[in-house]
Amino acid sequence: MTQDHIDAELFQAHVPNGRRWLLWLLYKVFWRTVFGLVIGLRYVRGAKTHPDGPVIYISNHNSHLDAMSLMTIVPSHRIHLTHSVAAQDFFGTSGFRKWSMQNLVNAVLISRTKDGRDVDPIKLLDAMLQAGHSLILFPEGTRGVPGLMADFKRGVGHLASRHPGIPVIPVYLDGLYRNLPKGRTMIVPFGGTLVLGEALYFKDESINEITDATQRAIEKMARDIKNENKLPHSKR
């Protein structure tokens, strides 16, 4: 499959101009209201500024709400150019689910198995970054055990090493698994925290070094939130 075919067929068709306002309304109005007022999600901005242009967002992953919560922090003029990376074998199993992911979540679906691949996922995502799009990655690869973080897969390392000028922004999500537990379809208001970290820049680091550095960044954010939430020791 040629680079031109990747660009034209696999992601540019996902963001027609007519969908820009829909995505803005969904994430800057509807979902921001749901997360802020209904769920009670607390937004913590550790970053001083948000880089403009294409970025790679990375986050821990425990809930189907994770991608929507990250889309609410994307700058308004970049929402239609920002895509969650989701599993084709899970979200592409029915026509309605696939349509919803591509049109309402603005996701790009990739196969996690070699048998179902028309194109190398890294080549596809590489083409998107080259075209100025941003990506939302969950380097654990799947929703893990609530409250625990699995080892990161090397996809973020591959992409960041190919694009040293594109920042990697770590985001830590705490508690969203309580609002939409695995296997449930109803959202319940149990609160949570979203921490937007400082952008990471890589130059000559290896794929493994980048992967390890991004995981350490989110693990540090998790420890900081855990320490912040600890109750002070009572005096006797």
- CATH tag, 3-229: 3.40.1130
3-state class (DSSP) for residue 47: coil
Question: pLDDT per residue over 80-116, tens digit each?
Answer: 999 999 887 767 677 888 888 888 889 988 876 666 5
The full length of the chain comes to 236
The answer to whether the beta carbons of residues 133 and 81 sit under 8 Å apart is yes
Calculate the CA dihedral of residues 53, 138, 70, 136 and round it to 10 degrees: 30
| pLDDT at position 230 | 65
Mark 149-183 as b/e (b = at least 16 C-beta within 10 Å).
beebebbbbbbbbebeebbbbbbbbbbbbbbbbee
Question: What residue type is assigned to position 55 of the chain?
Answer: V
CA atoms of 63 and 9, how far apart (whole Å): 29
* Residue 87 bridge partners (DSSP): 110
Among 157, 173, 169, 92, CA closest to 125: 157
Its pTM stands at: 0.86
Question: pLDDT per residue over 16-45, tens digit each?
Answer: 677 888 999 999 999 999 999 999 999 998
* Residue 195 bridge partners (DSSP): 44, 172
| pLDDT at position 25 | 95
CA atoms of 67 and 211, how far apart (whole Å): 20
